[in-house]
Structure 1
Amino acid sequence: MSQSEIVVEGRNLTIGYQVGKKRTEVHSGLNFQLFRGELTCLLGANGAGKSTLLRTLAASQPSLSGSLKLLGRALSAYSERELSRTIGVVLTDRTQAGGLTVYELVALGRQPYTGFFGRLDNSDKQAVEHALQAVEIVHKARCYMAELSDGERQKVMIAKALVQECPLILLDEPTAFLDVVSRIEIMNLLHRLAIEEERAILLSTHDIEQALVLSDRLWLLSSDAGLECGVTEDMILGNRMDMLFPNHPQIKFDLMHGGFSPEVSGEKSIVLKAADEVLRHWAQNALNRRHYFCLDTYSSPRKWPLLEVQAADRLFYTAENGRTTCYSSFESLLSNM
């Protein structure tokens, strides 16, 4: 990954709230950078401070101390008009604009350039058309927002942020209300837009599986450890994912398959052999659910039961008494264990 332009940089930043003389710190000592042309995912448990951090980056609430720069300039030095041309924000709330067409809503993103009356000149219209094409929603331009699916509405809101021509786009859980297909489409779209449109895109999400596949960098935020940032694979292989849920030691990150799951209690042990990794993974999944700890080989003189999975319908189970039974499904195997 080539080093790109730094769009946002925080140094020893403290975020939180100040009401009168009462100061509430959410996090302190935060250090981070966002790069143009990269998709970064902000991960953390509920209550970890993700929304507070996003609001601070969006300049909707001030930082308490430290340095926060946007394109090399202090964020606090930007006027509201400058901010509207520099930061695009897509919130998690469902859009309440059913009476507008897709084109009309996206065109509202040109307001920082068109002024109070909102008249679009040719360059504005070209920007709207480009944004609609970039999110692949141009065929819905004349449709009303009320007619769209949740996934299509989210694409429209992303297009509205794009048309602002901002180098920085912030999204707060953009896939929260979407089905699996739409979540994948939106994450793919954001990764492509970061590269093709040369934007720095930061989104908070609980969709860890897609974040690990598509994000260039991860920001891991926890109440205990603060913020850790790095290239996705460095964070995974450095065993940093387990910091996300420090108060739940029974929840472990699976390095092989990139997801969180309950720690296996291991009340019983079994030797598991499988013809390939796919069969082994799903056989182990079934056995773990039954509180079996899976071994690769006989690890002691004691003869553990053995399961050999040759195919999904050829499961050979050898009990401790040495008797082998062939099962044609996991259902029949599990019901007889």
Structure 2
Amino acid sequence: MNKLLRFAILVCAFTFLSSQASAKKPDWIDGTSKKYPEPHYFIGMGEAMLGKGSEKQVHSLAADRARAEIAKSIRSSVSVDERSGRKVESSAKGKSRDLSQDSYQSSSVRISAGQILEDVQIKEYYKDKKEGRLYALAALDRPKAAKRLSARLDQVLKEISTEMEMGREAQDAGNYLPAMKRYSNALSLSSGASDIAELISILKPAGPSPLSEGLATAEIKELISKLGSMIAFEIKINDENSAIRPYIVRGLKNYGFSVGADTAGAKKSYTLDCRIDIIEKGTIDMGPGLLMNVYQADLDVEITDTSDGNVIGSMTWSANANEKSSVAAEKSAVRALGRLVEKQIGEKLVGI
């Protein structure tokens, strides 16, 4: 009986000590972890008040906040300085490190950490009953995440190569607008590739640059600019007095296309047959003595290859405006339509 009692006491003591050990405040609450050390891991700690919602909601909130802390530590502002190269703010402590490269970008780039958050894992929870808080530890295995991003970067670089090859084929065949579309696709992809490369550099600060040979972003831009100057547009509008023309012209020129008399050096020409319609939509009662007239402006554009007369595509826009007078509402609708056309016409044309 005494032996059984002593055994029971020992079991209780062991259980008590074990529970005390498991309840001990973990080191990661203070920002560092022996189990998940730097530089192999990025870690983040999140917390939530106990009793503020269901247990599931409290755990979810603490976990989300822990992931957000990692996102903060890897979200980087890349500033360019031709004298010192790039500086990437990547440390949770706000320190910077120099990533000088042979090529420089002309503007600051904001890197999103969202691409690698899928690699973040919630490793542990700690419940502090005294403080009434639940803590969550999130960890990012940096080499593992870098490996996945490197595979993605390789794929993007292949896609860029494919788009450039298809663009050259289209250009050689005289299909300039489709060629512009391919080059524009390559340019967009190159921007994404640069972002991925920056993330890899943050994850592997001691490793070589994943884009040591550089992306030909500047060359692609130059190619698009030169090709744009080879394409000329003639604009025909059903209402030649319409105020929409200047917006169309500016939109085309902003994208690098030649327009009207500005066609020296153009090798390919297209006609834009434009039809603008102004529609009275009625009135809106805005309150006592305030009746607003509503007008809609529509623009339909048909694109014709002037070399063979074939219609290769079409574009449409629509915009609304309301003013006290009918005349003002009509003018406002045309202005709203014009701003939309000016902003979008280049992108829409290369998407034909």
Structure possessing the higher relative contact order (Cα contacts under 8 Å, 6 or more residues apart): 1
1 or 2, which has the higher helix percentage? 2
Superposed pair shares fold, TM > 0.5? no
Structure of higher CA gyration radius: 2
Query: What's the TM-score bracket when you normalise by the shorter of the two chains?
Result: under 0.3
**TM-score relative to the length of structure 1:** 0.25
**TM-score relative to the length of structure 2:** 0.24
